[in-house]
Amino acid sequence: MATEAIQRRQRVAPLLVVRASGHLSDGQRRYPRWELTNAELQRLLAEGVGGVILLGASAAELGQRSRQLASWSEQPLLLCADVEEGVGQRFEGASWLVPPLALGRIHAADAAVALALAERYGRCSGREARALGLNWVLGPVCDVNNNPDNPVINVRAWGEDPATAGALAAAFLRGAQAEGVLCCAKHFPGHGDTSSDSHLELPLLGHSRERLERIELPPFRQAIAAGVASVMTAHLLLPSLDPDLPATLSPAVLNDLLRQELGFDGLVVTDALVMEAITGRYGAGEAAVLALEAGADLVLMPADADAALDAIVAALEAGRLSHERLEASLERRRLALARCNSAQQQSELATGSSTTAMAMQIAMQPEAHLLQSPGSPLGALSNGPIAADQALALELVRRSLERQGPPLAKEMLAGGGLNLIRVDTLLGCPFLSATAPALLLPAEVGLSTCLLAGQGPSPWSEDPQAPLALERLGPGPVLLQLFVRGNPFRGSAGGGREPWAAALTQLQAAGRLAGLAVYGSPYLWQQLQPLLEPTIAAAYSPGQMPLAQAELLRSLGLGATATQAEGFTD
């Protein structure tokens, strides 16, 4: 490639954010379709690509990976992750917190407590992200989840009404950004009231502008007022704003509404352009150009990074994109990185700490040493979260736990029985390892486990009134554990289309339901609660991680004491 062409690509490359595994080697990639090889990463970062979004690995390994990526670049990088439920949601060994919607339910009972918890949540997330070399947290979700059938937002939202969602999201971002990271309000102008998944198709949101002003936009206004550093676009079609282009590619949405009316002058980043809502309709290059034309500053996860770079360069040469437009985005990126450094320095002064100052250097300075923590040669968080963050994780689980009925009847379980667990899939199921409390604690009282995960023989009969084929499940009492929540790429809100209400009635009629545990979706819990007989032990937790399992099952009378349950912190 000629020198001049290389220089043109290098000039636009900082506006791209590509996907990488948090693991160090190519063989450890979990999603090779999207996660670039090390050779590709090294080449693109050397060419000037300015950001990387990471997923997977242990917390300690992520610290090394951040340093590795920085060493491949001659400029400061934006290193980010979707850590909406704490850094441990994506990187093992860090704090995995309850989903944000749990705080929305707490807020209904005690707003002051919920707001304080949301800020601590942000502090924990920002502090741990920065300690591992990340400088950009892709949260908070500012969508209002007022549609229980929403398959993609669901428990990721902070609330089901705009006041709650906005107040808690603002509290979170104040806490996180005070720790020296950038936050990102998403998904603008609001993805909460959709029943389809933009990872798979382009949702249509047919609300009027008046309705958007009343429901969808207030949390984003609050986030902007609270100083959020970046805003992420939504892959939605909103005819009241733009009848032709999805929000991510619409000047009416990004420039006219977000920039001009809402007055936001920070970084605007697209949602992942590789998602079917965009890549299924536009090529990788054209999508990137349309996004920048619309007012985006950063292009996240283009389907083909080289095609995106070539298309942006071609658009500049043809005059379709102006050089002034390019320079404005580059300047916003520079200011965001400078803001990150300034916030980090203020945090250091406030805490009097010097060891954590090395964390930001991983992302900002290629020559920085691997971050160390006292007594831990493998780096930050290799010994787990600090005591204050462990306490926060436990408090959030306990405050959001709901239960009813008496404890499990141990005499009913004396002869054995069935631990019937429903999960979306056994693949990529981090909360259900071989040592998960949902498996171990029922086994301690003699229950054998049967997993329903859409694999193997069907558990369903053809009788809608008695949908479980009980003869296939074996004899004895049943502890029913349902892990249900909205998840991207699943196309549904999780379990909502499965006949669990009828199955619950069927098990009770047969005298076989020993207890019920629902993890994740409050909507399924709300549906099943009225059907439960008063003698049935039942509980709900918004969290699905091991700590939540241990606390919920302990509340039903199984296994660990409260003190022992605190050991489940992965």
Q: Which residues are catalytic?
A: 199, 271
- Tokens matching residue 7: 């220089």
Quote the Cα angle for 2-5-10, to 5°: 125
Burial of residue 183 (CB within 10 Å: 0-12, 13-18, 19+) is buried
Locus of tokens 């091991």: 546
Q: In what order do the strands lie in the sheet with 478-484?
A: 402-404, 537-541, 513-520, 478-484, 417-422, 447-452
Element (H, E) at 438: helix 437-444
DSSP for 531-565, please give it. Answer: GS-TTSEEEEES--SHHHHHHHHHHTT-S--HHHH
Would you say the C-alpha torsion 357, 359, 361, 364 has a positive or negative sign? negative
φ and ψ of 100, to 5 deg: -55, -35
Could you give the CA distance from residue 252 to residue 262 in angstroms, rounded to a whole number?
12
- Tokens matching residue 79: 């290193």
- Tokens matching residue 165: 């969602």
Length of the chain as a residue count: 570
Could you give the CA distance from residue 403 to residue 537 in angstroms, rounded to a whole number?
8
